[in-house]
Amino acid sequence: MFKDILVPLDGSEFAEQALDFAAGLAVREGALLHLIHVDTGARATAAVYLEQLAAQIGERHAVRVEAAVVQLNGGSVARTLAGEVEARAVRSVVMTTHGRSGLERLWLGSVADQLVRMLHVPLFLLRSCAPMPPRRILVALDGTPLAERALAPALHLAHIMRAQLTLLRVVALERAWVVTPHGARWVELALPRERAVEEAQHYLEGLARSMPPDLLIDTQVLVHESIPTALSEAAEQDDAALIALTTRARHGLERWLLGSVADKLLRSTTRPLLVVHPE
């Protein structure tokens, strides 16, 4: 499922932190690893750098590696990389990201940020070095078929890594504005919340029963006012090495103002993300 794998590199040590994770994935998939540098002016130097890095990674991990310096397409690094993914029939991308936030992100953007919207192959986003293999994978679900599109790559990853899978759904807190003789305040609605938790648990258990019997799978329902915060806290508490989820990948100002779970999660967790953007 993750054949072949592309790793974008810009010559920085930060970008290189994706290499061990990508190489570990390539070894288990028997995949070819593509190291790609987008040429922005120092092509000869970049070619030498990539060749040396490819030799080191190939020898250290006993994995097949190809390296290429490619011409910038249309002034956009992200567009250039998306073109390479298509041209090379790449099945997944592994890269590091700084996880910018706020106005800096709106004006500057990031390559990872743009690729989430452009690509329809699984995208592994790492904030730093990530453990390989991951021992526990958390899959964020909301009861919709769209969210369930993250299950197939997460299941495959769990199978090849022999990792445990946690299916998690966050139930939002329901509140009402209540006016009393002593003043007005927000009050949590316990009964709707209890029903929602019960329905969420039933949904997750049904999914778990449909999974391959050779996988270790558990389910978890959390009640929280913020889905990204709940996922981040659950990953820390359960020591999940990776969080898998689907994104709708909003565009433009709407995305900056409203955000998405994947977008906010990237900026609130240090755990790697496996982001799936279905066509």
65: phi then psi, degrees, rounded to nearest 5: -135, 135
- For residue 155, the model assigns a pLDDT of 96
Do 143 and 19 share a domain, yes or no? no
Do 125 and 173 share a domain, yes or no? no
Helix 77-87 crosses helix 111-118 at what angle (to 10 degrees)? Answer: 40
* Domain boundary pick from 104, 132, 160: 132
3-state class of 31 per DSSP?
coil
What tokens appear for 79 in the block? Answer: 């567009």
Do 257 and 167 share a domain, yes or no? yes
Do 90 and 196 share a domain, yes or no? no
* Domain boundary pick from 99, 132, 165: 132
Do 147 and 124 share a domain, yes or no? no
Residue 230: how many other CB atoms lie within 10 Å: 22
Do 269 and 155 share a domain, yes or no? yes
Residue 206: how many other CB atoms lie within 10 Å: 10
Low-confidence ranges of the chain (pLDDT < 50): 102-109, 253-258
262: phi then psi, degrees, rounded to nearest 5: -60, -45
Q: What is the DSSP letter of 32?
A: P
State the pTM of this model. 0.86
Do 82 and 45 share a domain, yes or no? yes
How many distinct structural domains can be found in the chain? 2
Do 170 and 128 share a domain, yes or no? no
What residues contact 195, with CB distance under 8 A and at least 6 apart?
A: none
Specify the residue for token string 């994947």: 262
Do 278 and 253 share a domain, yes or no? yes
Do 198 and 278 share a domain, yes or no? yes
- For residue 78, the model assigns a pLDDT of 92
Among residues 172, 134, 154, 173, the alpha carbon closest in space to that of 245 is found at: 154
Among residues 196, 134, 207, 223, the alpha carbon closest in space to that of 167 is found at: 207
Query: Containing domain of residue 272, as a range?
Result: 133-279
> Please, are residues 68 and 50 in contact by the beta-carbon 8 Å criterion?
yes
CATH of the domain at 119: 3.40.50.620
> Please, are residues 230 and 222 in contact by the beta-carbon 8 Å criterion?
yes
Do 179 and 263 share a domain, yes or no? yes
* Domain boundary pick from 106, 132, 158: 132
175: left (phi over 0), alpha (psi -120 to 50) or beta: beta
Among residues 245, 206, 210, 235, the alpha carbon closest in space to that of 125 is found at: 245
22: phi then psi, degrees, rounded to nearest 5: -65, -40
Do 228 and 112 share a domain, yes or no? no
Q: Distance between CA atoms of 57 and 28, rounded to whole angstroms?
A: 15
